Amino acid sequence: MTDHGQKNRPDPDKLLELAARETRGKLTVFLGAAPGVGKTYAMLLRARRLKEDGADIVVGLVETHGRIETAELLDGLESIPRKQVRYRGKVLEEFDIDASIARKPKILVVDELAHSNVPGSRHPKRYQDIEELLWQGIDVWTAMNVQHLESLSDVVTSITGVTVREIVPDVVLKRADDVLLVDLSPAELIMRLKEGKVYLPGNAERAAAGFFKPANLTALRELALRRTADRVDDQMIDLLRENSIEGPWATGERLLVCVGPDDLSEKVVRTASRLASGLNARWLVVSLTETDDAGEATGKRLDELLGLAERLGAETRRVIAEDFVEEIFRIARRENVTQIVVGRPRSARWANPFRRSLPNEIIKRFTDIGVHIVTGEERGISYAAPSMRQRSGPELAKAIAVPIAATVVTTLLGLAASDIVHAQNLSMLFLVAVILSGMICGRLSAVIAAGLSFVFYNFFFLEPLHDLSIAKPHQLFSLIIFLAVALMIGDLAGRLRDQVAQSRNQAKNTQALYEFSRKLSGTARLDDVLISSASHLHSTFGSGVVILMPDDNDLSLQAAWPPDLTLDGTDMTAARWAYEKNERAGADTATLPQIGWQFLPIHTSNGVSGVLGLSMDDQPGLSENDDRMVTAILDQTAIAIDRAQLVRENAKTAALQESEKLHTALFSSLSHDLKTPLASITGAVTTLRELGSRIKAHTRDDLLLAIEEEAARLTRFVANLFDMTRIEAGTLKAKKLPVDAAEVIASSIERMKKLKPGIVIETSIASDLPMVNGDASLLGQTMFNLLDNAAKYAGDGPIAVYAKQDGEEVAISVTDQGKGIPPKDLDKIFDKFYRRVKSDGRAPGTGLGLSISRGFIESMGGTIKAESPAIRKRGTRFIVRLPVAGPERAAVA
């Protein structure tokens, strides 16, 4: 049963994809084989029918191309005015995306999906405008011809001879919710062209002689029909997976496409895209480069190639390896690949007959996987990839000059030493020249030095001298061995140099990342994290850096380096796009590429938490290495932002918990310490009112006394709350005047005895007790609170009060003989609403007395602490220390 349930479970990826689509608009594409088949006409005709049924449908932009019957369909449909854009002295009309979003209809008609926007627009292509509309929840209808699909552009060019310049990535059509084929036979289309229903007469004649030929139109029609059929098949498979319906799709094809930084690879990718579409197969594009072949030109070419593959719907992966065949074999086995696609140029075999071909090696190695060979005149991938990267003029001159100079100097040294050194031993000097050339300028210089050394050694040091011929057979053998060793050593030296340079760069980057991560590890505040990240990026790339974070439902500039950097409205639009759409925007991207900033989303565990902006005014764009470095720094920044936000949230949570704890304690205290005296007062008053004169005199006196005591208790409770409020608000201003502590202690004891007549208090106050600096009222309240607390917990034993001078302070202690306080609770007893026991189990009082006492004493510049046990493992002692009043203050007093 379990296996059956697992087998029939819907595909979770498809369910997640379906859920994501529910939040965005629906895209409907009217697909045609060629211009004039009636895509726009069919789209507007359907729009009119929905409009008559009451649908909220609006025309964002429609191109009628002068066709009267198409223009007539616009009557009665609401249209959004086009935006006027000035470009190169001309005023052009473009689609107004902002007005469309502001109107936000249920369905929006936007013609010409493959249209290129005027430079300076928010997006370079109209399909990107439509993507933004879909994210806004607007359903979009659009139209395009099959010739504009990116994977078919080279096929259309070969069929029609016309280069297609406006293209749409295949993934746009793949993600469309509905694809409606608008079909017309080639004969009917040519008839419409002749009747002037496709182009104006002059353009129609040129189109009929070129593009609109029956053979061309038939081929394009077949492409459109096939692509629509593939789309229907994709929808059927999605439906099967979403509903867990078993079918033959369970064992599908998987393509592995091998590309490199060469010209043929683009054709390989496009061919593989069509093959994958026909087989309805997933396909993986793998870029192949050597470990030491990672130049800027190579990286840029691979970036463009992999970007094309992703637009056509492929997965992409970069592979850096010495043995391409072994790496391809490993990937094919791990990814369950069924077919491999690789390119082979027709002319490569004659260019170097000794070089092994990657396609041939793959065919030899793979016996159970199909191999597709894409041929062409372009340069393709070699099994031994090019080892010498393209060099600039000065670099090439140096690479040639250094080996020439090295071999010439070595030859002169050899001639000078030829009288004392045997000719065969002089070959070691030339090997040194080869090694030095390789270490200084790389493998090309090493090869040049090896060749020159071969010639110079033969010409100047082997018999016959000054002749390239060789007299003795063993010298020929030695010379060949010398050349082979020189080439191998030179190649190794060049490789070592390149690897050392790469290792140095990697170590530099690793050290920079380590220093950055170490700096961030000790940073807990979010502002410090952002400033550190901005300054580090600025020092690394030398460009301006800004970091924006969400604030009040919008992005705001939180950190910048240099600090005086600002962003204008267009820059902020690109930053918001990067934040909301989770993709790069700005310079060198597909969104607002004309601005001087590139914005990258900062990914954290909670999603996109901010946006990084890099100024591109002084550089054309990020290189491959720079891009990897930026990504690594962003990852570190994201971790630090997560940590800082977590620390901040923890602090908020702790504050909320503490506040909740205090509120709970306060409500508990109010419910207990207000309800009890109020109940006593209410009961006494009710008895007096109902019984009146029938109550005996002494009973009446007891009731009145109870009312008086409970009212006094309420008064003390309210006074404690008021005092605590003043302490927390910082409004408590204690006087610091000379105070007679002995007098204050005596008055506090008298007050306590009036409240509790049976209490026993023993006093021991030094006769020479000096005056203290403080506030008599606050000190008196503190002593009363301490005596009241002792009375609650002293049991039957007496309370002891002592006062004496201890250096520059007066120490006053209040000691009870109760059970004492556990050591772990000594620091808690001065907290608000803390009570040691629960007698009712609650202790009487609010738990504010000791907290208020600490606030009073500290405001007077003194200290208070508790000790337990105090006497014979029992009791608690509170010790108050106040500074002795100075003689000048005492004299004034």
Map 566-609 to HEC letters: CCCHHHHHHHHHHHHHCCCEECCCCCCCCCCEEEEEEEECCEEE
Sequence-distant (≥ 6) Cβ neighbours of residue 539 within 8 angstroms? none
Residue range(s) of every CATH 3.30.450.40 domain in the chain = 522-645
Of 321, 291, 317, 295, give the one whose Cα is nearest residue 306.
317
Amino acid letter at 800?
Answer: A
Whether the Cβ atoms of residue 225 and residue 183 lie closer than 8 Å to each other: yes
Sign of torsion over alpha carbons 466, 469, 475, 481: positive
Amino acid residing at 509: N
Gyration radius of the chain's alpha carbons: 45
**CB neighbourhood size of 480 (10 A):** 12
d(CA 866, CA 880): 9
Q: Which of 889, 718, 888, 852 is nearest to 778 (CA)?
A: 852
Domain with CATH 3.40.50.300 in the chain: 12-242
Please list the alpha-helical segments (H only) found in 692-775: 697-729, 741-755
Does the domain at 522-645 match CATH 1.20.970.10? Answer given as no
Find where tokens 């078919």 sit: 152
Amino acid at 274: R
In the structure encoding, which two tokens stand for residue 495, read together? Answer: 């490789």
Global pTM reads: 0.50
Q: Is 77 helix (H, G, I), strand (E, B) or coil?
A: coil
> Which two tokens mark 11?
């595909």
CA distance 628 to 303: 12
- For the chain, residues classed under CATH 3.30.565.10 are 733-892
Residue span(s) of the chain under CATH 3.40.50.620 come to 251-376
CATH top-level class for 733-892?
Answer: alpha beta
Strands (E), 7-165: 27-32, 57-61, 83-87, 90-94, 107-110, 139-145
Residue 9 pLDDT: 54
The Cα-based distances of 685 to 124, 646, 712, 755 in angstroms read 86, 57, 16, 21
Residue 306 CB neighbours (<10 A): 20
Helix (H/G/I), strand (E/B), else coil: 751 = helix
Beta-ladder partners of 32: 145, 182
Q: Does domain 12-242 have CATH number 3.40.50.300?
A: yes
Residue 216 amino acid letter: N
Annotate 356-365 with b (16+ C-beta within 10 A) or e (fewer): ebbbebbeee
Extract the residue ranges of the chain whose pLDDT is less than 50. 1-7, 246-251, 292-293, 348-354, 382-390, 838-846, 888-893
Burial class (CB in 10 A: 0-12, 13-18, 19+), 224: buried
Architecture field, domain 251-376: 3-Layer(aba) Sandwich (3.40)
Both tokens of residue 504?
């140095």
Q: How far apart are CA 417 and CA 700, in angstroms?
A: 135
Q: What is the DSSP string of 815-871?
A: EE-SS---GGGTTTTTSTT--S-BTTTB-SS-S-HHHHHHHHHHHTT-EEEEES--B
Determine contact, residues 282/272, Cβ cutoff 8 Å.
Answer: no
CA distance 701 to 707: 10
Residues 435 and 428: their CA atoms lie apart, in Å, by 11
CA distances from 242 to 2, 24, 238, 279 (A): 20, 19, 6, 21
Burial class (CB in 10 A: 0-12, 13-18, 19+), 822: exposed
| Distance, CA of 639 to CA of 622 (rounded, Å) | 23
The pLDDT, as a whole number, for residue 472 is 60
First to last CA, the chain: 96
The two tokens of residue 580 are 């909301």
How many angstroms separate the CA atoms of 872 and 859, rounded?
33
At residue 713, the pLDDT reads 66
Task: Say if CB 630 and CB 600 are below 8 A apart.
Answer: yes
Cα–Cα–Cα angle for 505, 511, 513, nearest 5°? 105
Cα(319)–Cα(296) distance, integer angstroms: 16
Nearest to 759 by CA among 726, 717, 801, 719: 801
- What is the distance between the alpha carbons of residues 349 and 101, in angstroms, rounded to a whole number? 57
Tell me whether residue 564 is exposed, middle or buried, using C-beta atoms within 10 angstroms of its C-beta: 0 to 12, 13 to 18, 19 or more: exposed
Task: Report angle CA 62, 64, 69 to the nearest 5 degrees.
Answer: 120
